[in-house]
Amino acid sequence: MRFWLIKSEPDVFGFAELMRRGREPWNGVRNYQARNFLRDMREGDLCLFYHSNARPPGVAGVARVCRAAYPDDLQFDSGSSYFDPKSDPAQPRWSMVDVEPLVAFPALVTLEALRRLPDWADSPLTRKGSRLSVLPVTSEQFWDVLDAAGLSLEDLNGVPA
């Protein structure tokens, strides 16, 4: 099992919305590096759900990958802002995964709090100017954040140790 961080703007789609829906395709990623990380995801991987462009920004909860990468349908939808006319249906350029909510944090673990965690000092997330919307995190980084949220493995329902 691997760990990731995925960004979303809460004004557009926040963790609470994921809780309401129960499951959601993680579409609209249009950056090659982020796409490649999506393609590395496996069912069961855990994702820190990060609220960007928010006041304050931070991690709102944990989601689980419930379907590995498959073609993002919005790339072929000419009415979508994520439409990509250069994408070949025979070899789709963009991918998405499905995620489901696992646990909502009692309180946001803010970016400011993340910056104080030693394991997060050299992350693309905390580095100035980084815009990567899907990134791998180490298990140390993941459990640091869980700890900062006041949670532990037992709170991650059904996740094997």
Residues that bind DNA (CB under 7 A): 7, 9, 31-33, 52-57, 111-112, 127-133
Q: CB of 128: closest distance to DNA in angstroms?
A: 5
DSSP label at 130?
A: -
Say how far apart CA 85 and CA 121 lie, in whole Å: 39
Q: CB of 153: closest distance to DNA in angstroms?
A: 27
Nearer to DNA, 80 or 159 (CB): 80
Write the single-letter amino acid at 123: S
Q: CB of 161: closest distance to DNA in angstroms?
A: 31
Nearer to DNA, 111 or 148 (CB): 111
Nearer to DNA, 112 or 140 (CB): 112
Say how far apart CA 120 and CA 100 lie, in whole Å: 25
Nearest to 44 by CA among 97, 7, 104: 97
Nearer to DNA, 19 or 52 (CB): 52
What are 133's two structure tokens?
């919307």
